[in-house]
Structure 1
Amino acid sequence: MTRPVGAVTRGTTGHNRLRRSDRWVAAVHGRLLRATPRPLVVDLGYGASPTTTLELFDRLRRVAPAVEVVGVEIDPVRVAVAKPYEREGLSFRLGGFELPVPRPPTLVRAFNVLRQYGESEAWHYWDVLTGKLAPGGVLVEGTSSENGRRAVWVGLSPEGPRTITFAARFDAFERPSDLADRLPKTLIHRNVPGERIHAFLSDFDHAWAVSAPYGVHGRRQRWLAAVRFLALTWPVSARPPLGGPARWRLGELTLPWSAVGPR
C-alpha cells in the first residue's frame, strides 16, 4: 500500500463542532448532491473520533438520500476506532491528500487539516484536492474553534477558491474581527494593513460598532444590521443559497474570494 500523503493532525474533535459548515454544505450544495448520480463526499482528516463524519453523513442524507460518505484519516488507530460505525453509505479508510476512494468525489470537506502547514503548502494542497474532484465538484476547506462556535471556510472548484464564509454564534465574539484566528492558512498571515482581508475585517468591525443600537433587540439583530451596512461597500452574498437574511440569521456571511484574497 502506498504511504498516505500528509501529516497526522492533533485529532481534536467533538459533537457539533462542524455543525455550522454542515448546514451550509447541505443548503448550498444539496442540489449538486441530489443531481449527481452516486454522489461521493469525502471527509478528510476527521480526527480522533468519527463524530463529525457521522454527523455530516446524517445531515447530508436528509437532503441527498443517495449520498455516500467516506471518512479518510492518516492515522490507522483512528481508522480502527471508526470502523465499527460503518453502515450502508458510510465507510472509513486510511489515507491522506491522495484520497484513496473508488471514484472522484463530488465534494471534499477538509476542516482543521491545513492548519499545521505553511502558506505555500496550503496553496499546494488546495490544488491537489481540487484536482481530484469530479466535474462540477467542490472542496470546502476551513477551520473552526474547538467548540465550533467560530469558523471560517472557503469553497473551491478546480479553477480555484470561489467563496469565503464567516460563521459564529452570536455570543462567541466581541467584534467580528475575532474570527481572524479561524482564517484559512492562505490568509491568516495576511491580516495586515494593505491586504484586502484586513480591510474587510476592519470594515466589519466598524459596521458592528455603528449597529450597536440594534443590540437592544439582541445580538442577532445587531449582526443583521451590521451585515446590511457592510453590504453597502462589500460584495456580501445577498441571495440564496449563499446569502440573504435566512443565512445571515444563522450568523453567517459569505463573500466572493476575490474580494478578500491576497493581492
Structure 2
Amino acid sequence: MRHTAVTPAGSRTRRPVGTITRGTTGHNRLRRVDRWIIAVHGRMLASADRPVVVDLGYGASPVTTLELFTRLRRINPGVEVIGVEIDPARVAAALPYERPGLSFVLGGFELPVPRPPLLVRAFNVLRQYDEDEAWRAWDMLRSRLAPGGAVVEGTCSEIGHRAAWVGLNADGPVTLTLATRFAGFDRPSALAERLPKVLIHRNVSGERIHALLRDLDHAWDVCAPYGAYGVRQRWMAAVAQLAATWPVAVFPPLGGRARSRLGELTVPWSAVAPSKRPATP
C-alpha cells in the first residue's frame, strides 16, 4: 500500500510520505547498528541537551525502538526517542509503551517531530523502493536534521546477523559499514544481499561496490590459514589485508581492531559510491 511517492526535500505534504513496510522485527535485530551508533555518535548525543532521536519505520512491534531508547538513555538520560511509523495500526499498538522521553507518532520521511532530530535511524525501510526514490528519501531525511546531525540508513537480515548501513550528514553520504555475525556467512560477499538500496543493484562489474566485495572475498581466501584460530581471526586478518589497497577505516571509533573484532568493516562512501546517481524526475 503506497501512500505517496517520495518527494523532494522541502515539498509540502498532508499525508505521510512513504510506503508501509512488511513490518518484520524482533528482539536485538538492530543491536549491531545500535552498537555502532553509540560508538560513532555517542559523544555527540551525550553532550546535547535533550536531543531528539527518530526511529523511522520501526515495524509491527516497537521492540527495537524500546531497545534504542534504553541504550541511548544510558549515555544521555535526557535523550528523546520518537518512533515514526506510516501504519496507523502500528502506532496504536505502540502507544501503551510510551513513557517519559519515548513516544510514537504517525508519519513517514517528512519526520513529523517537534524539533529537528540529531539522529535518525532508518532500517529496513527502503528495500521496496526504486533506487531514485531511495536517493530522494535520503535527501528528505538529511534536510530535516538538526545542525551537526546524522542519518543511519541500512538493512539487515531477519535476525540481524548480516547488515549494511550508510552514515549520512547534512551534506550527503559519508560512510558504508558492513557488519556480520561470524557464524552468519560462508564468504564475505554474502553481505551483498543486505546492501542499502542505492548500492544493491550496483553490485556488478565496473562498479566500486562490486570491486570492494570481490577484493574482500580475495582477502578472505588469502587469509584462510587464520581460520585455524577461528572465524573472527580470519575476518580480522582479511580486513587488515584489504586495508592495503582500500581506504578501510583503521582508527576508532569507525575502525581498528576493536571494530574488526565485532565483525565490522567501514569505508568512506567515496570509495563505493555508484558511478552515477539516477536522474531526479
Report the AA paired with residue 135 of structure 1.
Answer: P
Report the AA paired with residue 259 of structure 1.
Answer: A
Take 1:60 and 1:110, find their aligned partners in 2: how far apart are those partners? 16
- In the alignment, is residue 114 of structure 1 matched against residue 122 of structure 2? no
Partner of residue 44, structure 1: 56
Please point out which of 17, 20, 29 is paired with 1:5: 17
Partner of residue 186, structure 1: 198
> How many percent of aligned residue pairs carry the same amino acid?
72
State the 1:65 CA deviation.
2.1
Take 1:57 and 1:128, find their aligned partners in 2: how far apart are those partners? 24
Aligned partner of residue 146 in structure 2, secondary structure: coil
Take 1:253 and 1:62, find their aligned partners in 2: how far apart are those partners? 26
**Off by >4 Å, runs of 4+ in structure 1:** none
State the 1:35 CA deviation.
1.9
1:72-83 residue pairs with structure 2 within 5 A? 72-83=84-95
Take 2:250 and 2:99, find their aligned partners in 1: how far apart are those partners? 38
Take 1:64 and 1:208, find their aligned partners in 2: how far apart are those partners? 39
- In the alignment, is residue 94 of structure 1 matched against residue 96 of structure 2? no
Take 2:50 and 2:70, find their aligned partners in 1: how far apart are those partners? 16
State the 1:177 CA deviation.
0.4
Report the AA paired with residue 245 of structure 1.
Answer: R
Partner of residue 254, structure 1: 266
Report the AA paired with residue 124 of structure 1.
Answer: R
Partner of residue 33, structure 1: 45
Q: Deviations over 1:224-254 (max 9, x none)?
A: 1001000000001001111111111000111
Partner of residue 19, structure 1: 31
Take 2:133 and 2:14, find their aligned partners in 1: how far apart are those partners? 21
Take 2:267 and 2:99, find their aligned partners in 1: how far apart are those partners? 37
State the 1:64 CA deviation.
2.1
Q: How many residues were matched structurally?
A: 263
Take 2:167 and 2:117, find their aligned partners in 1: how far apart are those partners? 15
1:156-235 residue pairs with structure 2 within 5 A? 156-235=168-247
Q: Deviations over 1:83-138 (max 9, x none)?
A: 01111110000111111100000000000001110000000010000000000000
After superposition, the CA RMSD in angstroms is 0.9
- Given the two structures, how large is their TM-score scaled by the length of structure 2? 0.92
Take 1:161 and 1:206, find their aligned partners in 2: how far apart are those partners? 27
- Return 5+ residue gaps in structure 2 as ranges: 1-12, 276-281
- Return 5+ residue gaps in structure 1 as ranges: none
Partner of residue 236, structure 1: 248
State the 1:2 CA deviation.
2.9
Of 64-73 and 145-154, more deviation after overlay is shown by 64-73
Q: Deviations over 1:179-201 (max 9, x none)?
A: 00001110111100010000000
Report the AA paired with residue 159 of structure 2.
Answer: N
Take 1:75 and 1:182, find their aligned partners in 2: how far apart are those partners? 24
